[in-house]
Structure 1
């Protein structure tokens, strides 16, 4: 049993958090509906048309190329990592 300074709060049981009205809920629902309709009506059919003439090998190459364009941070991190590995080898601090 707790009888310290926080005991009254512990013994109260479950305290429900206060509820606040969310004024933008109708706007959120409207935007969600619009985005959902856009994805279902435009993006998915275009994706199906795009996939048909392109081979899986070409799609994989395009996805890899796009991934490289999106994440130049990974390229910089890899270059810095290589520089660190080279400097560790030259100084004799080689770790597996």
Structure 2
């Protein structure tokens, strides 16, 4: 029984952590659109803002891919977690 409990706990942790990754990826994807309008000030060359802006704007579709992958991982983890939950309404003969 303890092995099943450990497996259930592992699936729960995977589902929660991948859900957090989905939220972070969505926030980063939205920030990539907001950062597109930012411009660097003349004379500063490459500032920290410039590097972060370029990283956000050019990595937009990688963030979208991360959203898809982590969403699938979260769904599969929740399905596996539910697989190990007892069915209380079932009548066993």
Higher relative contact order (CA closer than 8 Å, sequence separation 6+): 2
* TM-score (normalised: structure 1): 0.32
Structure 1 or 2, whichever has the larger Rg, is: 1
* TM-score (normalised: structure 2): 0.32
